[in-house]
A and B are shown apart, each in its own frame.
Chain A
């Protein structure tokens, strides 16, 4: 079985040169995504094929995954990945559609689509690579960047407090809300598989370090612990456990809420 999965994973790669920074957790996310798709194909016993997947991306470091993953898709526009993905699903409901996004991409530019996606409840999966900075444009603060973050754009430190996207997703009526740790490939794969299998809109926020910018928020693994929850009231408490603003508290990783 491992061999089959490896050979499917092999086919999911492309010949393109990967241009993420050396050591970037995006490599790990790519690996988790490949494992997810490979395992779903393998487990389906021939029912699901590589051609049955499609993706859309925004623009940013996360979106480079488009060139490295050999499935159909649209390399989209900054902030618009959800709209493209919803359209792809409307055009062909048989496709398993993954929408890749960044934190600036979706929580800033594409916020309106994020909130409405929960209401539209199309059967697609949103995967946000959240490294708490606009990295491809050299490190400006995004809506999930901590207060006080110093960058070329904010030499006096970021004034605003970050947004908690998990809380927002719950308020927006999310029916599948999960958080993953980019560094934990096994767990991320499990989460992504559940997200894809969920009927309706599923949202996976991947906590990810940026090795070049906003380094003070890196290395939060010791704060993380695993959860799997189906209780709405508890989900609201879990969402509050980490405010994105500091390295204090606990960071629940796993299914925060599934209806």
Chain B
């Protein structure tokens, strides 16, 4: 069973609180949820909405057609009327006019009743979140105002709700990160807040320098003298860091970069989503130097891949970029299995100043002491050393899951995708048990040789990406010589993520 509820209103009215109360109540009731957040770049007013998808099985996407609307303002039901399915419900602020700031709590209570969940689960959650009797009364008032429409049965799943940014944070803590440098930029900003909250307990220094250029250079300085720092940003900020990425290539100071995308070019659409920045992650920075580019597809993979990024950066004095986007970073997923395999990040053989004597790192081509060289023999040595480092990285990453296969493993229809499209692709396949297998690419660079084998074994290859040119598709063509047919590329570039119902129809048209 799956339901999609749209919760809309003005910024500042508390639609996220409705989602939070309902999804946490459902969580303790054993149900899976996925919460998509659609919001504008403003602080008060406008029109924002969430789509809360509810299921008795694991899901990681939302659908375009909704079973109900919770409208905190008049606009919401007008705007979203056309998205309602037959036999759906609309719950408005009418009847709750006198509640003021507690409107969200009352509507959450009302929705819980509509879903047919015992009042106890709601009240427990409200007690957990609020410490006043008023909220409890208003939640109960909301609950009592409605008639039950569905009857969700209690399930025994144990889980918690996290978003991609929280997954990243956890992965960094698992890797013993001690400094986080950043300049605020959506959708990476939230990470600053998460680390700031955790800073005392986990001994993390959160530093907000004057701009992204200072962010990356300070992080490199700190890592040079023995810290384990990470930085986070989005497209525009990442562009500012480009020169220092190249510096990383020359100086070989380890660095982990979290890059969360939104639609570009330029300021683009700041609070929406896209997979526009794969190309820039792969290429940013002048000169030839190794790098690692990883693409988690859900919060658990965020935790695991950030950990692998720290491990690889430390082991090979390398630059690791972990890609995400607004959809993965800020959508809320139900997680029912904790991250098990935490890799211990071992300190590299890299020498640390003071501890290991006098150590020099340089932006110039340099000798083994770090002093500048310009002779051809020395240059060749440096260039070859960097290439060798990439060869070593390529060998090492084979011990990690560079790709994952989901869906019908024997199918001749192969869907290829990366990052935040994972949830919608899997849910699309699962919803009708489509004859398709899904190859999820987690390691973009190095890219797994197995991808070529999978493509060659398939009759039909379909590409799914949240950008207009199919950037992973182009990379696969560059590496394998195989072109995925134009008509088999499902590309979405309206700033919105794929919904699983729409994507399912697009996939079905292309199955053989």
Contacts and interface: CB of A to CB of B under 8 A. Distances in A.
B226 interface: yes
Given A73-B360, A76-B363, A112-B210, A54 B371 contact: no
A94 B355 CA distance: 11
Given A50-B358, A72-B354, A88 B217 contact: no
A90 B205 contact: yes
B251 interface: yes
B227 A91 contact: yes
B419 to A, nearest CB: 30
B357 A84 contact: no
B354 A56 contact: no
Contacts of A90: 179, 205, 207, 218, 221-222, 225, 227
Given A54-B225, A87-B220, A88-B222, A75 B214 contact: no
Nearest to B221: A87
A115 B214 CA distance: 12
Contacts of A95: 225, 353-354
Interface string B248-263: 0001010000000000
Contacts of B225: 54, 87-92, 95
A87 B244 contact: no
A57 to B, nearest CB: 9
A75 B372 contact: yes
B211 interface: yes
A83 B218 contact: yes
A185 interface: no
Interface centre among A14, A84, A88 (most CB of B within 10 A): A84
A140 B217 CA distance: 26
B221 A71 contact: no
B149 to A, nearest CB: 56
A204 B198 CA distance: 38
Contacts of A113: 210, 213-214
A38 interface: no
A89 B222 CA distance: 7
Contacts of B223: 87, 91
Contacts of B359: 72
A14 B371 contact: yes
A84 B217 CA distance: 5
Interface of A is mostly: helix
B371 A87 contact: no
Contacts of A52: 354
A212 B46 CA distance: 62
Interface centre among A64, A67, A72, A91 (most CB of B within 10 A): A91
Contacts of A16: 371-372
A70 B217 CA distance: 22
Contact of A77 (B205, B243, B353, B357): B243
Nearest to B352: A92
A85 B372 contact: no
B247 to A, nearest CB: 6
A61 to B, nearest CB: 13
B354 A86 contact: no
B362 interface: yes
Interface of B is mostly: mixed
Interface in B351-401: 352-354, 357-364, 366, 369-372
Interface residues of A, number: 37
A77 B363 contact: yes
B345 to A, nearest CB: 16
Interface residues of B, number: 41
A88 B363 contact: no
A66 B360 contact: yes
Contact of B221 (A50, A64, A83): A83
A77 B360 contact: no
A75 B371 CA distance: 9
A149 B423 CA distance: 63
Interface string B220-235: 1111111101000000
B360 A91 contact: no
Given A113-B214, A116-B209, A75 B221 contact: no
A23 to B, nearest CB: 22
A45 B362 CA distance: 31
A175 interface: no
B370 A87 contact: no
A59 interface: yes
B455 interface: no
Given A90-B205, A94-B354, A56 B211 contact: no
B362 A75 contact: yes
B319 to A, nearest CB: 15
Interface in A6-25: 14, 16
A73 B223 CA distance: 12
B484 to A, nearest CB: 39
B472 interface: no
Given A14-B371, A50-B358, A72 B222 contact: no
A59 B363 contact: yes
Contact of A86 (B211, B221, B229): B221
Contacts of B222: 87-88, 90-91
Contacts of A112: 210-211, 213-214
Nearest to B223: A91
20 contacts: A51-B354, A51-B357, A72-B357, A74-B221, A74-B363, A75-B360, A80-B214, A83-B213, A83-B218, A86-B218, A87-B223, A88-B353, A90-B218, A91-B223, A91-B224, A91-B226, A92-B352, A95-B353, A112-B214, A116-B209
Given A50-B358, A51-B357, A113-B210, 17 more contacts: A51-B353, A52-B354, A54-B353, A67-B372, A72-B359, A73-B360, A75-B361, A77-B363, A83-B218, A90-B179, A90-B205, A90-B207, A91-B179, A91-B221, A92-B352, A112-B213, A116-B210
Interface of A: 14, 16, 50-52, 54, 56, 59, 64, 66-67, 70-77, 80, 83-92, 94-95, 112-113, 115-116, 120
